[in-house]
A and B are shown apart, each in its own frame.
Chain A
């Protein structure tokens, strides 16, 4: 079983997101970076399926050279092969990203055989375009479903569960297939010391791919208007309980 996971390196902001003066990007001067949470879960899911079915997991990212850090993290939790499509811009638009990923996937498959499953995040944490995985799947002619919170693979089909209000929808999809994963499908493991050491030595393959820009272009990023409220401090410690319950009564939530 061969599984591919596409992940994106994104900044990890704290209490607010600051934007660079030209408005083109998130100001990352004082920020760390991470993998989008949905994709972290996609990597974990791929590793679990590979463990069960004697498979191999490849992780692919398109990003700056530093995105190697996110690939190595994936290796530290069990991914086998790491591929980076290096770009020099901050971000590519979704059409361009999808086209480059598709080219890289076709190359990887022609060298080592098709991937039974290709996993994406439901949406990237930063851009949130809700489309890259679907574009890639269509270009490859494969079935794709988004929002997946459970996968069972057996006998050439993948049964996938998608959350809806108060329950699940079930899709039964022929393999090879593509899926967009949502956080909550599993609890990602933390890297072990051994995993961390191995990931330092893992080889990162570079796939240089060109792709034309799409029709959506960024003008600038900005923060939504925040309502600033004065915080009413009801007290310190347990003595505040009576003031809190007064408030609850006033708000009518104490029936």
Chain B
């Protein structure tokens, strides 16, 4: 019996999280007595197949069809559903990315089976038991899954992608789904490139501002400090809700997850929904007038004081030392 693992790729470039799903999946497959097989969907998917065998894929199913041009949630979902039926797979998995969760939800709807999203741990058995992520990572749920087909995704970063000691065969097997034109009504039609270079998600330094910044103009001091450190500005939801910064700057559960070397969080109280977006930072410096603020309690370092005085003083000191 088979565990199918959908490997997310974008026009032939494999998503890093797909290898996490394979790493997680091959271990689960072994414990559940299933054959661990990868799935790639789309015209240019074959170029993403390279690392799959080394990460434990016994076979790689390559699904292609004239309608599978670019990514399309319905076409991918329908394809994976048909492959599940034709291979007799009893479990189907993907990584918990936007696409992974979306495609498995489509399979679940088509098979009328449950789907457990963003698991961090699974124990197989007649009934599977698992731990999954709720509240964007602030809370965990232990759950049980009873189904003919077990459909799950693996939370991003639940495991680290590692090759197996003894690479699997990874033989390519072609699959042609039976798709009608309707399946392609939600295929990507166009792409718009906006930014390139360092982003909030990848910047090594982030200077974040919260309600304590007080106004849109108040962010000039944060821009100055971020500029001096070669970093970018982030913010809390209180700030985006006030229209002081665009939502693309928001850090948190419904914003961006950051992982900088240092996060300077100024005038941010540290609500749990903000914290889950910031907790991957290697170091956190809180600047807050309130020494009792949650952000201060959770940060490794803090300065107690008015950010409008503290931040310019830091910028000035940096400029001074640089001469």
Taking beta carbons and an 8 Å cutoff, which residues of A are in contact with B?
Answer: 13-17, 19, 26, 37-38, 93-95, 98, 123, 125-131, 134-135, 137-139, 143-147, 161-162, 164-174, 182-184, 187-188, 214-224, 229, 231-242, 244-245, 247-249, 251-255
Contacts and interface: CB of A to CB of B under 8 A. Distances in A.
A241 B315 CA distance: 8
B163 interface: no
Given A15-B270, A93-B114, A187 B109 contact: no
Contact of B98 (A17, A146, A245): A146
Given A15-B271, A131-B117, A219 B142 contact: yes
Contacts of A188: 241
A232 B302 contact: yes
B137 interface: yes
Given A15-B269, A173-B185, 9 more contacts: A13-B273, A37-B254, A38-B254, A145-B186, A161-B192, A167-B192, A184-B247, A187-B247, A220-B142
A216 B74 contact: no
21 contacts: A13-B271, A14-B271, A15-B270, A95-B108, A128-B118, A130-B102, A134-B73, A143-B74, A143-B186, A161-B192, A166-B193, A183-B255, A184-B248, A215-B113, A218-B142, A219-B129, A221-B134, A221-B142, A234-B285, A235-B305, A247-B301
A95 B143 CA distance: 14
A147 B98 contact: yes
B173 to A, nearest CB: 27
Nearest to A230: B300
Interface in B128-154: 129, 133-147, 153
B237 interface: yes
A236 B305 contact: yes
Contacts of A130: 101-102, 105, 117-118, 153
Interface in B149-186: 153, 185-186
B82 to A, nearest CB: 15
Contacts of A131: 101, 105, 108-109, 115, 117
Q: Is the interface of B mostly helix, strand, loop or mixed?
A: mixed
Interface size class of B (residues with CB under 8 A): 35 or more
Contacts of B312: 238
B146 A215 contact: yes
Given A128-B133, A169-B191, A253 B205 contact: yes
B31 interface: no
A110 to B, nearest CB: 22
B271 A240 contact: no
Nearest to A142: B185
A129 B194 CA distance: 30
B267 interface: no
